[in-house]
Chains A and B, each alone.
Chain A
Amino acid sequence: MVEITLRVNGTEHSVSIDTRVSLLDLLRERLGLTGSKKGCDHGQCGACTVLIDGRRANACLALAVAQDGREITTIEGLADGSDLHPLQAAFIARDAFQCGYCTPGQLCSAAGMLAEGGPSAITGDLAADPPLTREEIRERMSGNLCRCGAYVNIVTAIEDVSG
């Protein structure tokens, strides 16, 4: 067992963990933050996406022990008190989900993505950051799968916030 301390949604937690525990399992099983979802547990579906020091990450591929001292933001910490994050409000306004299982990961991923900037694989001119067209959003969100196929409204909701 190893002692680690990390801040999750602004609250400091010191926990004793087995080295094998993923950040996702720590959040869900030890800290009771079940908003982050376990889909594939292989980094392929994006349902577990959280922000680590502001950058989006697959929590299933992050060993908890390696996150000692890091600042973690999960879906539970995205809103400012009772004020929804603009992405959350846009997802509701645009009906950007069906079953909702991928939604926490979509939201955290979109929040991280909007903060990233830079070019993507489909950007024509690498020199300038391109406007976030629907195509750019789809490319940048390709690490988040939605088995219900709500992509059309997910892209529209993100477009509302990025534009």
Chain B
Amino acid sequence: MKPFEYTRARDAAEAVGAYRPGSMYLGGGTNLVDLMRLGVARPDLLVDVSRLPYDRIEEADGGLRVGAAVRNTDLAVHPVVRARYPMLARSVLSGASGQVRAMATVAGNLLQRTRCPYFQDVSKPCNKREPGSGCPAIDGHHHNLAILGYSEHCVATHPSDLAVALAALDARVLVTGPGGDRAIPMPGLHRLPDDRPDRDTVLEPGDLITTVELPPPPPGVSRYRKVRERASFAFALVSIAAVLDVSDDGTVRDCRLALGGVAHAPWRAYRAEEALRGAPARAEEFARAADAELAQARPLAHNGYKVPLAHNLIVRTLQELL
């Protein structure tokens, strides 16, 4: 591991003030420390933000304010989250292991890096790790990489389950930084790779996530479902956060659909949502909506299975919400 300096910030202003080019913020460290050990992350300075006073979950304006330093476990077991945002609790509980969830912070979960095998192997080229070096994944091991929104430069997926639920819930990510404070709507924190796959998010250098704001939960019933290669402690092949609100006459009043494991960012399925609003809430319409979304899919040589998997996941999950 490359030598680095360490400083612990007491508040956000001190953290942002300590930031300089080559610095990284340290939360729970569950992804960053591993990447440093692998030589993928090489910070000169770690600014420890894990003890900043953003460790509370508070009800506000009919919604919830979740501090960036709240541990994943504490978010998932919070009584209000369990009662009003069950999809959120389930997304967190479906990720990682008990140990990792107990250490990892909310902001760290959102800012974790892709598990693309080439990104994590410094002996291989990777445009995300070393811009311009190439993407061996496109013609290599990509069975769990993107089918939507990728570019010729990068086919990585974002691994967070939490981010998928937040994308469906229209959450807002509050940020402070050298350029001031701002709120980033979800989905919107994470970006598609285009020609800058080194940038996972829209955050600027020195930006610090302080809070995640949840609006009141949308009407209807919700579900988070994750398909993976083993029953626990595995990343999604495809996951879905779904909310369905059906009128008394049996038509879809509103719905929210976000997919994980398919793109460089949590993928809000706007085309499927549009196809569903006002349509009869039944399986054929669900299938038509899934087709509308997945018409954009461009599977690679070895991940074509994700297209029917995502299709079936959308249809089956919506059926279960009826």
Contact = CB atoms under 8 A, between A and B. Distances in A.
Contacts of B86: 126
Given A42-B34, A118-B76, A127-B83, A61 B1 contact: no
A52 B99 CA distance: 10
B29 A2 contact: no
Contact of B103 (A58, A68, A121): A58
Nearest to B92: A121
A142 B29 contact: no
Interface residues of B, number: 36
B271 to A, nearest CB: 29
A142 B102 contact: no
Contacts of B3: 18-20
B100 interface: yes
A117 B102 CA distance: 12
A36 interface: no
Interface string A108-123: 0100110011111101
A58 B98 CA distance: 10
Interface residues on A, range: 35 or more
A112 B103 CA distance: 12
Contacts of A117: 77
A61 B97 CA distance: 13
A100 to B, nearest CB: 20
Nearest to A48: B99
B6 A120 contact: no
Contacts of A126: 82-83, 86, 89-90
B303 interface: no
Contacts of B8: 66, 68
Most buried by B among A49, A66, A119: A66
Given A2-B6, A117-B77, A118-B73, A61 B89 contact: no
Instruction: List 10 A-B pairs, minimum CB-CB distance, nearest first.
Output: A143-B97, A118-B77, A142-B232, A121-B93, A142-B233, A126-B82, A55-B102, A19-B6, A143-B99, A20-B1
17 contacts: A18-B3, A20-B4, A42-B37, A43-B30, A55-B71, A56-B102, A58-B30, A61-B33, A61-B34, A63-B26, A66-B50, A112-B102, A116-B73, A119-B89, A126-B86, A143-B96, A143-B97
